[in-house]
Amino acid sequence: MDALYQALDDARQRYAAANPNSREADKQAEQYMPGGNTRNVLYHEPFPLTMVGGEGAELTDLDGHRYADFVGEFSAGLFGHSDPDIKSAIHKGLDHGIAIGGSTNYERELARLLCERFPSIDQLRFCNSGTEAGLMAITTARLATGRDKVLVFNGAYHGGVLKFPTGLSRFNAPYDFVLAEYNDIEGTADLIKQHGDHLAAVIVEPILGAGGSIPGSSAFMQMLRDTTREIGAVLIFDEVKTARLGPAGVQGRIGIQPDLTTLGKIIAGGMPTGAFGGSAELMACFNPKKEGSWKHAGTFNNNVCSMSAGIAAMGKVFTPQRANEFFEYTEAYRQSLNALFIEKSVTMVCNGLGSMFAIHFSPKPLERMVVRSADAHALNALLHMELLLDGVLICSRGDLFLSLPMNDLHLDRARQALTGFIDRHHSLITSVGNN
């Protein structure tokens, strides 16, 4: 595999030579932030690009390169960088006062739009991020059931303190977690029953996102619905990322209703936010007009810029019809890339659904989380570098998130960059992909 590491080294050198300003900016930043970084997922070797501007579905870096942006802010960038309706909604919010410290009609309108979109959500509350939404949903489940355990899946990501890339970790919020394998129907059903009386919640991503964009099978998701109902645990769908996959996220697509849903990323048009919601019965516990209700706080829960942007995003731009059209367009593209890999006889696959997928070096789609070998990591890093050098920005771990302003030109650019990568490295890909 010397050839692989040589190719990676060569690509990194070309990248460094092409990005002297980003390299210098990264170096300068080391003085005030550890490693110059405040968000690990954005770091990659030899140094990350410094972005200076965004327009439509494109980003420009400090060295003047313009990229087709398939990072899509890890899903939150669904609307691209300059949607006029969202920009004017943010300005409108600003015009009404920056930090209001009072209830406004903005949060009421966005709550209405979201509840009307998601049949499983009668009522919701806003918070500041998807992480907070996950923490609050778990807290709701624990308080409502009087139980403590929370079943999670290997490879799942529900936020900065709720992540399970390789099992349990001291980094996480100290809940009493039970770890199960994603898409393992029998094993998970057994665990749920085994912990029955003590299990407060099962929290699951309908597509295991950071774990490799692996869709949960319908049978698996239905089993979670049935067994949690049997034992009286709360089923939480984390649709922070997957809400983009239809008018009512993946739950609308598969027709399974959870007890609670967490949202974030897209629901404020790319501005910071989070939300958790579900049945009126569960959410009534937060009703401050009721004696003994639970108190849920957050200075910026209803910040007007996010709420106003969300109203434009969910009410005007990403309408149910647009959500369906976008799904069809992007799913056809994902499948066309898989057809390209077959045509080229190469062991690569785009795992995922619609506008959210990840490239794996595998002869067939992944159904379970797989820990990548060192060679697979290196090949992935090579893919990332070479696509960047070709003007196509993807996440360093191989994920792509498509955005509404993308057109056939952006999609063709990525397809051509992938074709070039395959033609240059066919034998390397095949030897890593078959291992």
To ligand PLP, the closest distance from the beta carbon of 156 in angstroms equals: 8
- Ranges within 161-190 binding ligand PLP (CB under 6 A): none
Measured from the CB atom, the residue of 33 and 342 that comes closer to ligand PLP is: 33
Phi/psi for 235 (5° steps) reads: -95, 120
- Taking the C-alpha atoms of residue 2 and residue 87, their distance in angstroms, rounded to an integer, is 49
Of 8-16, 151-159, 193-201, 367-375, the segment contacting ligand PLP by CB under 6 A is 151-159
Kindly tell me which residue out of 211, 249, 264, 405 binds ligand PLP, with binding defined by CB under 6 A. Answer: 264
Per CB under 6 A, 131 contacts ligand PLP: yes
To ligand PLP, the closest distance from the beta carbon of 163 in angstroms equals: 9
Measured from the CB atom, the residue of 162 and 422 that comes closer to ligand PLP is: 162
Per CB under 6 A, 206 contacts ligand PLP: no
- Taking the C-alpha atoms of residue 210 and residue 198, their distance in angstroms, rounded to an integer, is 28
Tokens of 297: 């706080």
The site that binds ligand PLP (CB under 6 A) totals a number of residues, namely 16
Kindly tell me which residue out of 93, 155, 209, 352 binds ligand PLP, with binding defined by CB under 6 A. Answer: 209
Tokens of 223: 């089993």
In angstroms and rounded to an integer, the radius of gyration of the C-alpha atoms of the chain is 22
In SS3 terms, the chain reads as CHHHHHHHHHHHHHHHHHCHHHHHHHHHHCCCCHHHCCCHHHCCCCCCCCEEEEECCEEEECCCCEEEECCHHHHHHHHCCCCHHHHHHHHHHHHCCCCCCCCCHHHHHHHHHHHHHCCCCCEEEEECCHHHHHHHHHHHHHHHHCCCEEEEECCCECCCCCECCCCCCCCCCCCEEEEECCCCHHHHHHHHHHCHHHEEEEEECCEECCCCCEECCHHHHHHHHHHHHHHCCEEEEECCCHHHHCCCHHHHHHCCCCCEEEECHHHHCCCCCEEEEECHHHHHHHCCCCCCCCCCCCCCCCCHHHHHHHHHHHHHHCCHHHHHHHHHHHHHHHHHHHHHHHHCCCCCEEEEECCEEEEECCCCCCCCCCCCCHHHHHHHHHHHHHHHHCCEECCCCCEEECCCCCCHHHHHHHHHHHHHHHHHHHHHHHHHHCC
Measured from the CB atom, the residue of 131 and 362 that comes closer to ligand PLP is: 131
Residue number, nearest CB to ligand PLP: 130
To ligand PLP, the closest distance from the beta carbon of 41 in angstroms equals: 8
Measured from the CB atom, the residue of 401 and 421 that comes closer to ligand PLP is: 401
Kindly tell me which residue out of 26, 83, 238, 399 binds ligand PLP, with binding defined by CB under 6 A. Answer: 238
To ligand PLP, the closest distance from the beta carbon of 160 in angstroms equals: 6
Of 64-72, 233-241, 392-400, 421-429, the segment contacting ligand PLP by CB under 6 A is 233-241
Per CB under 6 A, 159 contacts ligand PLP: yes
Per CB under 6 A, 48 contacts ligand PLP: no
Short-list 256, 135, 139, 141, CA closest to 199:
141
Per CB under 6 A, 74 contacts ligand PLP: yes
Measured from the CB atom, the residue of 221 and 411 that comes closer to ligand PLP is: 221
Beta-ladder partners of 349: 360
Kindly tell me which residue out of 48, 72, 93, 130 binds ligand PLP, with binding defined by CB under 6 A. Answer: 130
Per CB under 6 A, 157 contacts ligand PLP: yes
To ligand PLP, the closest distance from the beta carbon of 288 in angstroms equals: 25
User: Quick one: angle between helices 408-433 and 374-389, nearest 10?
Assistant: 150
Of 155-163, 222-230, 299-307, 405-413, the segment contacting ligand PLP by CB under 6 A is 155-163
Per CB under 6 A, 306 contacts ligand PLP: no
Of 100-108, 130-138, 388-396, 411-419, the segment contacting ligand PLP by CB under 6 A is 130-138
Measured from the CB atom, the residue of 133 and 429 that comes closer to ligand PLP is: 133
To ligand PLP, the closest distance from the beta carbon of 390 in angstroms equals: 26
Measured from the CB atom, the residue of 77 and 130 that comes closer to ligand PLP is: 130
CB 345 within 8 A of CB 407: no
What's the order of all strands across the beta sheet hosting 356-360? Answer: 349-353, 356-360, 399-401
Kindly tell me which residue out of 205, 259, 386, 399 binds ligand PLP, with binding defined by CB under 6 A. Answer: 205
Measured from the CB atom, the residue of 133 and 200 that comes closer to ligand PLP is: 133
Kindly tell me which residue out of 142, 195, 241, 334 binds ligand PLP, with binding defined by CB under 6 A. Answer: 241
Measured from the CB atom, the residue of 127 and 378 that comes closer to ligand PLP is: 127
Per CB under 6 A, 240 contacts ligand PLP: yes
Which residues contribute to the site for ligand PLP (CB under 6 A)? 74, 129-131, 134, 157-159, 205, 209-210, 238, 240-241, 264, 274
